[in-house]
Amino acid sequence: MVDVIDKVLGEDADMIALRNRRELLKQKTQASCEAALTPKEPGNFSFALRAALAARMCALWRAAELEAHYRDLLESYGETAFDAILDTGFRPGKADAKLDAILERVDKVTLTPKEATRADVEKLYAAGLDDRDIVTLASLTAFVNYQILVVAGLKMLRDH
């Protein structure tokens, strides 16, 4: 898989050189990306669902390049049933209970992480998610938000 951060930053030689100075961090970040988005065993979170949720988080952050990357990834899977997830104006309460709980958690952790509580996790259980699903969602949400912040920081350095 292509290094996503390099891809969204473009062919900027200075950025590539800066990232390559921390090769181990770069490799581990990309490995984390692959583990979060395309694990060997996707469980109840298909690759397409993961890409759609990642695109939503990027849209919430207004991280256009990353959002485009994840929308392209979603498109590569041939899935078209994720319009509600991709629509950041869509708020939980209008879909099925499981999707509502997932989107509520993703949005809260992305936009207002200090407000995320154990009660939110209980809503995930109540909606039918199991321990593995909740860990998967937490890992995906944490990684994508990390990736968004890394790209934002690197763009600030590049564009100063």
Per the structure, the count of domains in the chain is: 1
- The confidence band for 13, taking pLDDT boundaries of 50, 70 and 90, is confident
pLDDT value at residue 95:
61
Q: Which token pair is 97? A: 């209970």
Q: In this predicted model, what pLDDT tens digit does every residue of 60-99 receive, in sequence order? A: 999 999 999 999 999 999 987 788 788 887 666 656 889 9
Kindly report the CATH number assigned to the domain that includes residue 114: 1.20.1290.10
The answer, yes or no, to whether residue 145 has pLDDT greater than 80, is yes
What does the alpha-carbon distance between residue 138 and residue 86 come to, in Å, rounded to a whole number? 19
Range of the domain at 69: 4-159
Q: How far apart are CA 114 and CA 117, in angstroms?
A: 8
User: What percent of the chain has a predicted confidence (pLDDT) above 90?
Assistant: 76
CA distance 91 to 100: 8
- Over residues 2-16, mean pLDDT: 88
Measured between alpha carbons, how far is residue 60 from residues 85, 88, 117 in Å?
11, 7, 20
Q: What is the pLDDT of residues 101-118, one digit of tens each?
A: 999 999 999 999 999 999
